[in-house]
Structure 1
């Protein structure tokens, strides 16, 4: 999938949220999108998923099957968790067996008969994750997928990412927790001031002469610091406040 001179803004006279985005997501790649709140990470992910359309430029070769998990799953719907997943399976041409498999794997069995609106945020988020992978996606887009998840469910996300990429799919994920930034082979994109800095893949593991250093900067300077560190050949393993 290729972003070619992609610009986006939310209103005709508003400032550009993203500018001059030129980047490629190769099959089998994991792209971790970093940046402060409001920098445009969610906008970039929604453009990738086809939820938003560019104001300028084009996105080419988007895979036919896309799994999209927004930061907050829209749970105000008149279905139980299992009813919703069965309906999504029907729309996407998936087997009901796929629904049962993901309900099992994401530990949703005790909530399968609960109405979506009555689920906790974390449980609703697991339903959102399940619907995204009912059919193996060519592109899986995850916007802060850990929000509200319990510790067991959080450990499943890197495994799901690996499965998608091993099958030749691509993954774009925003991650301010640093929970997936160190995944071997992950590519890091940093969004700052409307621009996207696309870094090379991180090497798997640490070399013997590597040293991990924690750097403290002002919040307003964090994005520039990450860009400068990467430009100097350093790896950014995570960002925390």
Structure 2
């Protein structure tokens, strides 16, 4: 897959988000996209997935089957998890049983009867990952896939990514969480000032690769009782330890 002289902006008078991007991606590549917020990482991912069209330049030889999982899964849809994944399996023309298989592997099989808009952020994110993986993609594009995941799924996802790459697929991932370190063969590209450059993985700061456990910090958060259950669920989904203490009214 080749990206040549790619430039993009959202409106004719808007500033260029990306300019003159050159990329060559081959089967089996795992490409990590890095950069600070607002530099155009998500825009680049949508361009690679075919959801946006370049204003200038070309993207050639994109694999025929593309799986894309956005950073925020759109839950405002009138489906249960099972109905949504079944619908996506039909659209992708894949065996509907694959929906259940991915739901089980990503830990949402117990939520198949739940409506999308009732899901926590972490569970909705897993649904987004499942629909991207249903079709055995030749190109898998994941925007912050580790955000909000529980520890078990965070550990499973690098294995899934490795399997797609081992099967000859291209995987492109933006990852603030650092969970791709489990895949030493990955490539790394940094988005900055509208350009994209490859950064040798060896240039990463030694502290980022040490694997040393970061010390915990205990935060005290007071929240209305009506919101406590949902907040606790979301924090646990992100891998935090949560202890709920009920206080007397007015304290």
Q: Is the 8 A contact 2:189 2:198 kept in 1?
A: yes
The 3 A distance-change label for structure 1 pair 212 and 53 is closer
Residue aligning to 1:102:
102
Residue aligning to 2:2:
2
Residue aligning to 2:80:
80
Runs of 4+ in 1 over 4 A off after TM superposition: none
Residue aligning to 2:172:
172
The 3 A distance-change label for structure 1 pair 179 and 26 is same
The 3 A distance-change label for structure 1 pair 14 and 98 is same
- 1:100 Cα deviation after fit: 1.3
Q: Is the 8 A contact 2:162 2:183 kept in 1?
A: no
Residue aligning to 2:229:
none
SS, match of residue 129 in structure 1: helix
Provide the rounded CA distance (Å) in 1 between the counterparts of 2:182 and 2:56. 33
Q: Is the 8 A contact 1:17 1:40 kept in 2?
A: yes
Q: Is the 8 A contact 2:147 2:177 kept in 1?
A: no
Q: Is the 8 A contact 1:175 1:181 kept in 2?
A: no
Residue aligning to 1:40:
40
Larger radius of gyration: 2
2:62 corresponds to 1:62: yes
Q: Is the 8 A contact 2:34 2:174 kept in 1?
A: yes
1:213 alignment partner, one of 206, 210, 214: 206
Could you tell me which runs of 5 or more consecutive residues in structure 2 were left unpaired when the two chains were aligned. 212-251
Q: Is the 8 A contact 2:85 2:131 kept in 1?
A: yes
Q: Is the 8 A contact 1:6 1:19 kept in 2?
A: yes
2:139 corresponds to 1:139: yes
Question: TM-score, structure 2 length as denominator?
Answer: 0.80
Q: Deviations over 1:87-129 (max 9, x none)?
A: 0000101111111111111111211000001000110110110
Aligned residues: 211
SS, match of residue 199 in structure 2: strand
Q: Is the 8 A contact 2:158 2:182 kept in 1?
A: no
The 3 A distance-change label for structure 1 pair 211 and 83 is closer
Tell me the C-alpha RMSD between the 2 structures.
2.1
Provide the rounded CA distance (Å) in 2 between the counterparts of 1:144 and 1:88. 21
- 1:212 Cα deviation after fit: 6.5
**Counterpart mapping for 1:153-232 below 5 A:** 153-181=153-181, 183-200=183-200, 202=201, 213-214=206-207
Residue aligning to 2:247:
none
Residue aligning to 1:116:
116
Q: Is the 8 A contact 1:69 1:142 kept in 2?
A: yes
Residue aligning to 2:148:
148
SS, match of residue 7 in structure 1: strand
Provide the rounded CA distance (Å) in 2 between the counterparts of 1:23 and 1:170. 13
The 3 A distance-change label for structure 1 pair 213 and 91 is closer
Provide the rounded CA distance (Å) in 2 between the counterparts of 1:214 and 1:102. 34
The 3 A distance-change label for structure 1 pair 182 and 198 is farther
